[in-house]
Amino acid sequence: MNAVILAILIMVAMSLMRIPVVLALITASIISGLYAGLSPEQVVSSFNAGLGNGANVALAYATLGAFAVMLSRTGITQHLSEKVIGSLKKNGTDGKNKKIITWSLYAGLIVIGFASGTIVPIHIAFIPIVIPPLLLVMNHLKLDRRAIACVITFSITVMYMSTPIGFGAIYLNDILMASINNSGQPFGLEITRAMAPKAMFIPAMGMLCGLLIALLFTYRKKRDYKDLPVDNSGHIVQNSSKLTTLQKAVIASALIVALVVQLWTGSMAFGGIAGFAIMSFTGLVRWNELDSVFTQGMRLMTMIGFIMIAANGFAGVMKATGGITSLVESSVNLIGNNPPLAALMMLFVGLFITLGIGSSFSTVPIIAAIFVPLCIKFGFSPLATIALIGTAGALGDAGSPASDSTLGPTAGLSADGQHDHIWDTVVPTFIHFNIPLIIFGWIAAMVL
């Protein structure tokens, strides 16, 4: 068995058994590395070499988490929750009114998710700000939180894979286009920025179909949750005091500065720190509480940070085993001269690689060097090549235990301890997004 496949199977099996994802990643790395013939020293060295690649992401999430807690302490997000709950009490939760509120909530979360990856590129940092105060609303509506997990994952995934703004510009232009052009240069293949959004439109429609299936069919039934507090275990404590006009202006200024600094420096960590500093020095939170707020915010995002670091160590071992290259080569031997089967195999290979690494951004440079020659060999057009590699990279981002696209929703929905990362986020998003992505990615490769 290929070492990469073995590692993915071990990691997924352990995660489904509710074993912590970090432990599953480390265990899978060790077993697959030894299975591939690496010495214990080489496994440890490869794992440690990969850890550094996740440090900047972990630091960024920690600082953004602190900024999120600082915002939540002002009570600005509680205002929205109180408005919705007030509407529920006034108009009831039955019939047409409930449907309006439910779909308004879905639409609002999608819009916020779109904005968090484009015009206000804070990525998943909005989740611990917005979701915890809305849990009570979801409880009153008896919404299935698995549906909410699908909504959030859709909103933060579909934009970067189809729209060249914010994180989408990084994925489509800086990573996908650059990787394909670098690998295609010896073969005379060169793509432009205008081609990537066109090629990824059909796969993005697959994501939309998966979301509609989740909301209209799979998770449309009522699900009961208890109204539990979200102020234990280090979760956010809301401030119910009313904000003055000046305080609202300070909050708006902090958000703008955080965005400007992030865009200027290219660092989410510096953006989060800048926003936190502005709100600290303007007295929105007492000076003697700042250390507690910052620590609370880092604790809120600790799980995500450690999983991202461990996932990079896992990726380091996978590269050292040589299993990725051999996986592609063995797939080619099975394909023969069959372009439709070739497209399907490439998508499945991308799915397996991304499931383990947990990042589509890290997967594309790995698979592009191998997939571009294959696409040229099988006669795929430049647009079809973009669709195959872009979709193969995005596959597994939704549905991976180590992906921020699943870790983020869990961080917000589990604030009261009633949402499981694997069974309530990972499995639902895997089923509703990866399967449609494979189907629509294959269609794109055939028709483009």
Average pLDDT over residues 368-387: 85
Q: Tell whether 56 is covered by a domain.
A: yes
Q: Does residue 235 register a pLDDT over 50?
A: no
Higher pLDDT, 430 or 326: 430
Q: Does residue 232 register a pLDDT over 50?
A: no
Q: Does residue 135 register a pLDDT over 90?
A: no
Give residue 385's pLDDT: 92
Give residue 83's pLDDT: 64
Give residue 414's pLDDT: 86
Report how far residue 87's alpha carbon sits from residue 80's, in angstroms, rounded to the nearest whole number: 11
Give residue 236's pLDDT: 44
Q: Tell whether 131 is covered by a domain.
A: yes
Q: Tell whether 215 is covered by a domain.
A: yes
Report how far residue 4's alpha carbon sits from residue 36's, in angstroms, rounded to the nearest whole number: 9
User: pLDDT digits over 149-173, tens only?
Assistant: 999 999 988 988 888 876 777 788 8
Give residue 120's pLDDT: 65
Identify which of 167, 190, 181, 199 has the alpha carbon closest to the alpha carbon of residue 390.
199
Q: Does residue 180 register a pLDDT over 60?
A: yes
Show the CA angle centred on residue 429, arms to residues 335 and 342, nearest 5°.
10
Total domains, the chain? 1
Q: Tell whether 226 is covered by a domain.
A: no
Report the percentage of the chain scoring pLDDT > 90: 17
Give residue 193's pLDDT: 84
Higher pLDDT, 331 or 140: 140
Q: Tell whether 227 is covered by a domain.
A: no
Q: Tell whether 157 is covered by a domain.
A: yes
- Contacts by 166-170 with C-beta closer than 8 Å and gap 24+? 166/117, 166/118, 166/119, 166/121, 167/117, 167/118, 167/121, 167/123, 168/117, 168/118, 170/361
Give the pLDDT band (50/70/90) at residue 358: low
User: pLDDT digits over 51-106, tens only?
Assistant: 766 666 667 667 766 776 777 667 665 665 566 666 666 665 555 677 888 888 89
Q: Which domain holds residue 12?
A: 3-221+232-447
Q: Tell whether 335 is covered by a domain.
A: yes
Give residue 8's pLDDT: 76
Instruction: Give the gyration radius of the chain's Cα atoms.
Output: 22
Average pLDDT over residues 320-337: 72
Q: Does residue 39 register a pLDDT over 50?
A: yes
Identify which of 2, 8, 3, 1 has the alpha carbon closest to the alpha carbon of residue 400.
8
Give residue 208's pLDDT: 95
Give the pLDDT band (50/70/90) at residue 237: very low
Higher pLDDT, 23 or 15: 23
Give the pLDDT band (50/70/90) at residue 322: confident
Q: Which tokens sit at 277?
A: 């500093």
Whether residue 148 contacts residue 138, with contact meaning beta carbons closer than 8 Å, is answered with yes
Identify which of 160, 85, 180, 72 has the alpha carbon closest to the alpha carbon of residue 116.
160
Report the percentage of the chain scoring pLDDT > 70: 78
User: pLDDT digits over 296-312, tens only?
Assistant: 667 666 666 677 677 77
On the 0-12 / 13-18 / 19+ scale of CB atoms within 10 A, 193 is exposed
Q: Tell whether 394 is covered by a domain.
A: yes
Give residue 382's pLDDT: 92
Q: Does residue 285 register a pLDDT over 80?
A: no
Give the dihedral of Cα atoms 210, 212, 217, 223; nearest 10 deg. 100
Identify which of 348, 339, 337 has the alpha carbon closest to the alpha carbon of residue 392.
348
Q: CA of 225: how far to CAs of 34, 98, 142, 230, in Å?
A: 44, 17, 7, 13
Give the pLDDT band (50/70/90) at residue 277: confident
